[in-house]
Structure 1
Amino acid sequence: MKYSEQINSAYKAQKPFVAYKNPNENKIHVIIQDTDELIEFEDFTASGFVFAPFNDADKAILIKPDICFVDQVQSVDFELKKNVYNNNEDEKLNHINIVNNAINTIKETELSKIVISRKEEVLVPDFDLLAVYNKLINKYANAYVYVWFHPKVGLWMGATPETLLKVVGNKFKTMALAGTQPFKGDINPIWGEKELEEQQMVSDFIQQHLENVVDDLELSKVETVKAGSLLHLKTNITGRLRKSKDVQSLVKLLHPTPAVCGLPKELSKTFILQNENYNRSYYSGYLGVLNIAEETSFFVNLRCFQLLNNTAILYVGGGITTESNAQKEWEETVAKSQIIKSVL
């Protein structure tokens, strides 16, 4: 049975399932839970697929691996929609106001970065789950591309460029990912001071929080990576766990990352919860396999959308520092929203 048939079958039967493709891999992994039980995730010794929210006050969910299936990616021909812009002036003004508030707060307090996000609704009356998922898979080869469903929660889909934590045995990998600019044909563009500073903040945060709790910590040189039509700055970070239970403590240290929250973490998170004026839900949370085939791989839930009735709710954001320009930050969220809009 093909992965498309597995997904269709589980979705029609309203069974909890997830299908995912790892970055630069040509395989689709499908995990299906036999019952519609909503299992809250609390135990890092469990095995299954974790779907965790941005805010710890909300519930993380575990899908049990009752059925596990692996299949090759199906190559499909498709056309992407271009330049599907949102011209809602109220949304734009609201976002710009919140960004300006964040810039002023950073200037007046010990905060150095706040990530401000927004949601955008797109009507999709003829939504085709498999068609959209196949477009994402074929378009974003170097991303973690997933579709997740639980009948008591709903459907989420995305193509994220950011690893939160990957653990095999006692070795782990994570990354510092920050800074954004449109791809204009050059994979090694000139980066502005704002983006370079933002990337350094994220790298420093991870290094400072991990260097006393892991062994053999190493940070690579900063590189430019392409995610769809956007470029980001990335530092690969590796090391060795001292104890197997350290996976839970590492996740707690890293989540939410400075790339989706800010610095210092708790202060920026408080600002976000008080000022964004909406619930991020599972956007900028994390998702992935836990203790399956001796591997744990969590990714940050970016470039994603939630399907509600005939509406796709898109989530996009950007890192704000003292160097930020509110108009440009709005334009960055518009560029990021194109990634999902192009496949809907």
Structure 2
Amino acid sequence: MENTQLKNKGTQQFAPATWLNKLLDFAQLKDAGVAIWKLPQDNIIHILCDLDGGSSIDEVNLDDLESGFILAPFLAGTQQNIHFKADIKGYFELEKEAKPNENVIEISWENITEDQEMEITQINISRQPHLKLKKYPQIESTRKEDYIKMVKEGIAAISREELYKIVPSKIKCIPIKEDLDIADAYLRACNKYEDAFVSLTFSPKTGLWMGASPETLIEDKKNEYFKTVALAGTQAKDEKSIANTAWTQKEIEEQAYVSRYIINCFKKIRLREYEEIGPKTIQAGNLLHLKTSYKVDTNTLNFPELASVMLKLLHPTSAVCGMPKVISLDFLKKHETHERSYFSGYLGPVHMDQKSNIFVNLRCCQFSQDKAIFYAGAGVTEDSEPEKEWQETEIKCNVLANIIFHD
């Protein structure tokens, strides 16, 4: 009979990357779902495993979800909304500058049986774990000329006053090397992108995804506060201090559209009491963005369901779609030749310690059996230059690619 005694402290020690590779192999062998993540400005790596592989839900209503992790696509219907329940939970502290394959740690388990821990620890890690994943021969890199043509068509639509802003995306595929260590790459991303939500998720329904998102969609502390941000405008970090960063009219306008979109969402529900901070320049890895934060006191307002209401209103935001939303979505359906899948959707832990942290799924890639598939988009306004928008998407794809492939 299975020993169902819950454990609070792990008894086995492995290097952090070894632990995560064992968990990924365990999930794939068991058709389970696993979510691994680090919150911005935090060095705790959280682990959650759903032994049933995650549940598909037609519509995401945060108030109806049990504690767990949510992964949602850019557009409902193209892929499934997946909720991971917390059958197994654990965490460990990531030491700064520590090499993922050298130091050894114990995982602090919040919810695991001795038999489950033994099964995970006894797994012999596959040298090529990506070989268990599916192939996606239909997914190919977006050609530069096709992307530039799409940007030009977006600018033309803006000039005709059909749109204010549009965010066309692209795909960049890079072949996987036989010795690729995905867990090692994930932990190096955690060390490099301290200000990002760094995630690694797998389920039989979604495949294996990795991301380092700088953009909060919703932060909600039960009976205390609600937060969201407007993040737009991108430039590479140079030797100047952040305080001396200069922004062009195009980038300032692009960020202002996102801020206006959030305020319009507040207006739709007649919410007038909120705190606005920004815009200010923030750094995410080697990139700079403009960010404005919005905070609502849900306790004083007596609006406990605000997060669920705003999630439905906000997604997809103008930062990943465009404005007006409906017309922008029609434009993207017509001109993008690929499915975004979970790129520019959202993901994150829900109702963990009375708090939900949901992020826009940016700076992300999907792993297949033979390649890594990177996704990126750029905000296009009337002042956009197509060549520069292409270069911006290249920079964004390289955020993870340079870490994964040690370039």
Q: TM-score range by the shorter chain?
A: over 0.9
1:220 partner SS: strand
Which of these residues, 243, 259, 281, is aligned with residue 341 of structure 2? 281
Q: Which amino acid aligns with 2:73?
A: P
Q: Does structure 1 residue 342 correspond to structure 2 residue 393?
A: no
| Counterpart for residue 22 of structure 2 | 9
Shift of 1:238: 0.6
Q: Which amino acid aligns with 1:8?
A: N
Q: Does structure 1 residue 54 correspond to structure 2 residue 74?
A: yes
1:320 partner SS: coil
Between the aligned partners of 1:65 and 1:215, the Cα distance in structure 2 is 36
| Counterpart for residue 269 of structure 1 | 329
Q: Which amino acid aligns with 2:331?
A: F
- For 1:306-325, list aligned pairs within 5 A: 306-325=366-385
Shift of 1:290: 1.6
- For 1:106-255, list aligned pairs within 5 A: 106-125=158-177, 126-170=179-223, 171-186=225-240, 187-188=242-243, 189-211=245-267, 212-214=269-271, 216-241=273-298, 242-255=302-315
| Counterpart for residue 31 of structure 1 | 48
1:172 partner SS: strand
Shift of 1:37: 5.2
Q: Which amino acid aligns with 1:262?
A: G
| Counterpart for residue 81 of structure 1 | none
Q: Which amino acid aligns with 1:198?
A: E
Percent identity of equivalent pairs: 36
Question: When the two structures are superposed, what TM-score results if normalisation uses the length of structure 2?
Answer: 0.78
Shift of 1:309: 0.5
Shift of 1:335: 1.2
Q: Which amino acid aligns with 2:65?
A: A
Q: Deviations over 1:52-97 (max 9, x none)?
A: 000022321011111111210144349xxxxxxxxx9971111100
Q: 1:57 to 1:127 in 2, by over 3 A?
A: same
Q: Which amino acid aligns with 1:93?
A: E
Shift of 1:10: 2.6
| Counterpart for residue 112 of structure 2 | none
Between the aligned partners of 1:120 and 1:89, the Cα distance in structure 2 is 4
Shift of 1:26: 1.1
Between the aligned partners of 2:380 and 2:197, the Cα distance in structure 1 is 25
Shift of 1:246: 2.8
Does the aligned pair in 2 maintain the 1:51–1:60 contact within 8 Å?
yes
| Counterpart for residue 83 of structure 1 | none
Between the aligned partners of 1:207 and 1:330, the Cα distance in structure 2 is 30
Q: Deviations over 1:207-256 (max 9, x none)?
A: 12114443521211211011111110001111134432332210011111
Shift of 1:129: 1.5
Between the aligned partners of 1:89 and 1:307, the Cα distance in structure 2 is 14
Q: CA RMSD in A?
A: 1.9
Q: Which amino acid aligns with 2:235?
A: Q
Does the aligned pair in 2 maintain the 1:167–1:295 contact within 8 Å?
yes
| Counterpart for residue 327 of structure 1 | 387
Q: Which amino acid aligns with 2:288?
A: L
Does the aligned pair in 2 maintain the 1:28–1:71 contact within 8 Å?
yes
| Counterpart for residue 82 of structure 1 | none
1:342 partner SS: helix
**Alignment length, in residue pairs?**
335
Does the aligned pair in 1 maintain the 2:151–2:386 contact within 8 Å?
yes
Between the aligned partners of 2:180 and 2:213, the Cα distance in structure 1 is 21
| Counterpart for residue 107 of structure 2 | none
| Counterpart for residue 127 of structure 2 | none
Shift of 1:185: 1.7
Q: 1:120 to 1:199 in 2, by over 3 A?
A: same
Does the aligned pair in 2 maintain the 1:318–1:333 contact within 8 Å?
yes
Q: Does structure 1 residue 296 correspond to structure 2 residue 336?
A: no
| Counterpart for residue 102 of structure 1 | 154
Shift of 1:340: 1.1
